[in-house]
Amino acid sequence: MNAFFWIAGYILLAPVLGGLINGCDRIITARMQSRVGPPVLQPFYDVFKLMEKDNLTVNRFHGYYLFIFLAFMLVSGAMFFGGQDLLMVIFAFIVADMFLVLGAYSTNSPYSSIGAERELLQMLAAEPMMLLSAVGFYMVTGSFHVSEIVACDKSLILYLPGVFAGFCYVLTIKLRKSPFDLSTSHHAHQELVKGITTEFAGPSLALIEIEHWYETILLLGMIYLFFAFNPIVAVLVTLFIYFLEILIDNANARVKWELMLKSAWLATIILGGGNLLVLYFILHG
């Protein structure tokens, strides 16, 4: 029953929290750029405005891919907050992203196709570190289940500092923030077109924005796991990490995909793999 309430809470409240976080993101970004910025509810105004527009679709598969994309994101988040297997959560998360890529490819737009290719590169850069994070949780707690990881009384961050650092590195990629916002950008001055979302308009684009809010809450939930032994500390650290992501986003220009891929894999191998190797010798030495 407790899992049911967590799942229902994620499905109903994640868009609200994600939208508010996005609104705060815009305000903090504006302050960093010496601007006043929009109101905190501006993301909701934008989505409601998109909902009122015509839903222009390039072909009939366009909408299907988008619907499946959102469905798998809901499934991955529901599994996570329901305390299920973290590996299955990550796999569902990857499948969701794949359907967004398929939706972009289905438009036959050159801009959308380039965005889709860049999204695939971002997945290739970030997903290995996410999988290593799940392996790290298993090595410490003996379980892949989120409920058992949260219930563990060990300070996971003390066992997995390198994994945590590596996860925070690829978090910039998954949140699509500079310098790794290659597939699409939320800064208008960086793109003439929106990359992977170029051919989405009206309610379809609003649905993608809502999905990103779900995605943000899920990713922040994974940060929470490293400090789950103390919920107050976990929430504060999670918010601080997101603030650092905003700071990094405003302090860096976009890099080329080669640098993103190489640096992400180096972080995965050195920080993630190195941490797990040392942890293995500590636990079995």
Does 203 sit behind a cis peptide bond, omega within 30 degrees of 0 on the bond before it? no
Tell me how long the chain is. Answer: 285
Beta strands in 128-240 (DSSP E): none
**Considering just the CA atoms, what is the radius of gyration of the chain in Å?**
19
Instruction: Give the integer Cα–Cα distance in Å for 225 and 202.
Output: 36
* Beta-ladder partners of 85: 145
3-state SS, residue 181: coil
Residues 6+ apart with CB under 8 A from 162: 270, 271, 272, 274, 275, 276, 278
Domain containing 133: what range?
A: 2-284
User: What would the pLDDT profile of 136-180 be if each residue is shown by its tens digit?
Assistant: 999 999 999 999 999 998 889 999 999 999 999 999 999 988 888
pTM of the model: 0.92
How far, CA to CA in Å, does 91 sit from each of 79, 95, 136, 221, 236? 11, 6, 16, 16, 28
84-143 pLDDT, tens digit per residue, is: 999 999 999 999 999 999 888 888 778 888 888 889 999 999 999 999 999 999 999 999
Query: CA angle at residue 239 from 123 to 66, to 5 degrees?
Result: 35
Question: Does residue 255 have a pLDDT over 80?
Answer: yes
For residue 185, the model assigns a pLDDT of: 66
pLDDT score of 197: 79
Confidence (pLDDT) at 59: 73
Give residue-wise pLDDT tens across range 188-239.
Answer: 545 545 678 777 778 888 888 999 999 999 999 999 999 999 999 999 999 9
d(CA 71, CA 210): 12
In this predicted structure, what is the pLDDT of residue 196? 80
Number of domains in the chain: 1
